[in-house]
Chains A and B, each alone.
Chain A
Amino acid sequence: MTHNGPIVLQHMLHGYDDGHRLLASSVKLEQADMKTMLRLTDSSGPGIRSDADSYVTGYPLPLSGCFALAKTWPAPELPRPGCVWTHSLLIDFADLAVIGDFAILLESFVRPSGEERTYYSTPKLIDVESLPRPASWDPEEARQALAALYMHPGNRVLMPRVDTGPLDGLVLAIWSQQWPRLRRSFRFCTNAVTDRSGESNAFDFQLVDPSQGVLRSRFPKGHLAEEIEQPAPVWLELAVRDLMAPNRDGLRQFLRQIGGDVQGGREAFPYLTQLHADLLAQEDNFSALSNAIDLLTNELASVEATTIRSNVVNNAVHHVAALDDAGIDFLIIHLDLISRPAAQNKVLGQELMQRAPNRFLELLNGKGTGRSAAESAFSSIPLDRALNFAEDYPTSLRALVQIRTDWAESSTFWTRKSVATAKMLASAKVATSDHLGILGALLAADRIDLVPDALDSFGSRLVLKAIIPLVDKRGADSQIKPWLNCAVKDISAVSETLAAAESSVPRTLEVIARLIHPDDVVNDVGEDPWLAACRGAEPKETDLFLLSFLLARALGSQSQSQAELAVLGFTAIHDATARGQLRDECWSMFATRLPTSLFGFDWDRCWRLRTGLIDMFLERRLSPETFAFANFNDELFFSLAHWAKRSKQGEDFLKSVHEILKTSDKIDRTDELARILR
């Protein structure tokens, strides 16, 4: 407590002049306060006779906003026995807070002599010291007084006044120790013959002469300070130490800092002092930390003291696991005081998830710092744990979805059917842009129940894109088939997929081919998607089903790449047919599109193949170049050439082929072809 400027003291003098009355004053007060002063400036009772009996009284004058500190002397020089002089110093309430040691004011009291009154009619400026003075009283007396005052805050405390001086100093020291608000309400007298309390203004502390009759009759509501049983409470010892060496442990500064928030009076002193003791010890002593939390939660709940609460909170976050439920609640309430929220909130949130899930949910579904803490925790734990929590507390699912981005692409999530419902697909799409990842997770989780919803959400094209690599890898197993069966119903998606040539495995194309008709894929312009797909997959001669499918498509009317599709596998199909190794499922795909014989040659499938091919090239005027460079072997090529020469159109077609061959690397066929044409 420091104060660098003087304060103004007003003065009053009371004494006997045809009745006890105000004799001089430097200020005018409210009438009710003047009455109070008139009573309390009179003698505290019979028996005040010598200067050794002089005493100090302190009491507030709330209506006038000041505190009266008065010294009373007996006035034996006056004719009437029992007369007294009282010099009162009136201290503005605001100035009460800046005075470190009230004992300094004792020097300002002046006993009147003669008729001189002007001294009391003018206010005075006085300097107040910044540091209290060392103690001169017995620590045991201090202990008794503090215990009586603060362990029994409703009592009118009495102490025997054996020796004047030191105990007077003790009373003022106790007053000096208090925080400003408590100082303002503290009433005391260092020599009370009778109880000085009024009807509604009880005196807190009165020093009494026990030799003057029975105390009980003079102080019916008084309580004598008694010896304290050892060990004394921690707060009491701290307070006594502070009285003996002011502010040595920082208690005074602490009380001054926090006292302004305290609504209560004396009853708050033990709690505040204990809190200070706990704060000093909390770094190394978890019990002290718990104590501090308990005080701030209960007895000192009304105390705002943000700095102190912040101090406790930022210590407590390092001991989250050891805190009890009340401690956890304390942290939650003060989340906004945590200095490193990013790190600490995560720890707190995780602890809360484990110990108090419902409390965690409240935070998660709430707002502000609490929600941030919960989200921080929720986003940091392993997905499994978060999913377990979501399963146990379905209301947290929304938060999980919003906070974490890894759930949507996690097959672990999609395996939890209780939480990973069809409704989650829409949220998944929002959670991540990697929709292929989501589909991959769905596939891995074997969520065939979600196939229709996934197709609705993501579209068949994306599903096919997700599936193709899997089919390439492991074929259309039971896990993939349901997806494929549904996806290929969207022919335009199939067309896009084929055109993208995403598969590198002919088997995949065969899988698709088995699910649709050769004419399903529309090809109004540009290259046939099947042809593009084959460029990526490169079917081999053993891929007879696919090649047959493509031949059937070529012989149909939907493709713009009939020639290329027809010649792609013609040799393999012709050879297999010649060997009798073409399965019926393959032959049946294109058989109806081949010409039949008027002369009973239908049994000759090779003849039908050759005839069909030549008729297709001639009737549809397909590219001679394609024919020229088709992968026919020589025997098949020349066989086809012989059949084509039967007609004029065929002959012309062959001449074109001849011309093309003359300039290519198949020049060795030109001579034979020229001979066929002659």
Chain B
Amino acid sequence: MTIPSVTVIGLPASGKTTFLAALWHVVSDCDPDAPIALRLQNLKSGDVAHLNSIASRWREAKEQERTTLGGNHLVSMNLQDVGGNSVVVSFPDVEGEAYDRIWEDRECSELIEPFLKSTGVILFIHADKIVRPRWIAEEMALEALMNGPAAEAEGEQIPMPDAEMLAPLAVEPQNWEPKFAPTQVKLVDLLQVLRRPPLDIGPRKLAIMLSAWDKVEAEGRSPDQWLRESLPLLHQYLHSNADEWDIEIFGVSAQGGDYDSNTDAVEPRPAAAELRMQDRPADRIKLIEPTGGDSKDITRPIAWLMK
């Protein structure tokens, strides 16, 4: 019987490294009472020193440095539930540029291709760094207002610009590049690619992880609601289910708040200091389940995928 496999993917700065650091801390921690569904069985591949390093930074509430393109950062670990069932969790090419290459260059790195055929996929989306679609008319109106006559007193409705106002603002046309595409467009395309040859293995499970959930939690929406309103194209794609994804949508805050910057010139943040004062770093984790409940167990999406 084959062991189920889960691959963690996501665009750059989508929170994969932070999740990995938190996951490593949690599954490698020797606390038998920790409320987690899965524990570490063994590390299949990956630099233990690197994992310990990022876990250490996570515990110290310091920002992770972006993962560079150089070097081999493939991490793959066997996790096991209380019933002894195992799952392989892989983080291929932890930097997200490889997934950018799939969208922009229509190329898939040979290094990550085997992992994209796993039985389960976790797709990370940074809830606070969405590139939204931009309407040309809205943009030009905003530009005109910023550079046109001074606004009237507070409360006055700003009129839409007319041609006379827009005329002096004619700008040099810029060639469109794939990198300018909105986030949801890239993500839908990525998921569609996974359901086409040569990466397609048939219907499979997909866990959407909306990272940095603490940034949008105050909006009071569930992960599914947030997805529908912020990434409607993606939401429509998933729920129309043309590609037969079996999905669940989670919100996750692996940091629990703002961390200190790497740059010495930036002042330490009070929120980071508060986080460091917690007895158990794992307590800063917050997972919002699809049902609306929350949990400290960062492994639950993985556990769902392995069922």
B262 contacts A by Cβ under 8 Å: yes
| A195 surroundings in chain B (CB, below 8 A) | 71
| A81 surroundings in chain B (CB, below 8 A) | 63-66, 261-263
Q: How far is the CA of A213 from the CA of B66 in the complex (A)?
A: 19
B100 contacts A by Cβ under 8 Å: yes
Contact status A39-B100, CB under 8 Å: no
A243 to chain B, nearest CB (A): 29
Contact status B179-A45, CB under 8 Å: no
A82 contacts B by Cβ under 8 Å: yes
| A31 surroundings in chain B (CB, below 8 A) | 105
Contact status B179-A214, CB under 8 Å: no
Contact status A39-B70, CB under 8 Å: yes
B49 contacts A by Cβ under 8 Å: yes
Contact status B66-A83, CB under 8 Å: yes
Contact status A20-B69, CB under 8 Å: yes
Indicate which residue in A18, A19, A82, A196 contacts B65 across the interface (CB closer than 8 Å). A82
| A457 surroundings in chain B (CB, below 8 A) | none
Contact status A20-B70, CB under 8 Å: no
Q: Which of A81, A83, A213 neighbours the largest number of chain B CB atoms within 10 Å of its CB?
A: A81
| B63 surroundings in chain A (CB, below 8 A) | 81
User: Does more than half of chain B's interface fall in helix, strand or loop, or is it mixed?
Assistant: loop
Q: How far is the CA of A46 from the CA of B12 in the complex (A)?
A: 16
Find residues 15-49 in chain A having any chain B CB closer than 8 Å to their own CB. 16-21, 31, 38-40, 42-46, 49
Interface magnitude class on chain A: 20 to 34
Q: How far is the CA of A195 from the CA of B13 in the complex (A)?
A: 24
Indicate which residue in A18, A44, A76, A196 contacts B12 across the interface (CB closer than 8 Å). A18
> Please, which residue of chain B has its CB at the minimum distance from the CB of A38?
B69
Indicate which residue in A17, A44, A196 contacts B179 across the interface (CB closer than 8 Å). A17
A416 contacts B by Cβ under 8 Å: no
Check A45/B68 contact, CB under 8 A, given A18-B179, A21-B100, A21-B179.
Answer: yes
Q: Which of B67, B262, B265 neighbours the largest number of chain A CB atoms within 10 Å of its CB?
A: B262
B257 contacts A by Cβ under 8 Å: no
| A46 surroundings in chain B (CB, below 8 A) | 53, 65, 68
| B55 surroundings in chain A (CB, below 8 A) | none
A194 contacts B by Cβ under 8 Å: yes
Q: How far is the CA of A31 from the CA of B105 in the complex (A)?
A: 10
Indicate which residue in B68, B131, B263 contacts A43 across the interface (CB closer than 8 Å). B68
A662 contacts B by Cβ under 8 Å: no
B189 contacts A by Cβ under 8 Å: no
A433 contacts B by Cβ under 8 Å: no
Contact status B49-A43, CB under 8 Å: no
Contact status A217-B47, CB under 8 Å: yes
A117 to chain B, nearest CB (A): 12
Check A76/B263 contact, CB under 8 A, given A19-B100, A38-B97.
Answer: yes
A514 contacts B by Cβ under 8 Å: no
A residues bordering B, Cβ < 8 Å? 16-21, 31, 38-40, 42-46, 49, 76, 80-83, 194-196, 213-214, 217
28 contacts between A and B (CB under 8 A): A16-B66, A17-B179, A18-B11, A18-B131, A20-B66, A21-B97, A21-B179, A31-B105, A39-B69, A42-B68, A45-B68, A45-B70, A46-B53, A46-B65, A49-B263, A80-B13, A81-B63, A81-B64, A81-B66, A81-B262, A81-B263, A82-B67, A82-B68, A83-B66, A194-B70, A195-B71, A196-B70, A217-B47
Q: Knowing that A19-B97, A20-B66, A42-B70 are A-B contacts, what are 12 other residue pairs whose CB atoms are under 8 Å apart, sorted by A's residue number?
A: A18-B131, A19-B11, A39-B69, A43-B68, A49-B263, A80-B66, A81-B263, A82-B65, A83-B66, A195-B71, A196-B71, A217-B49
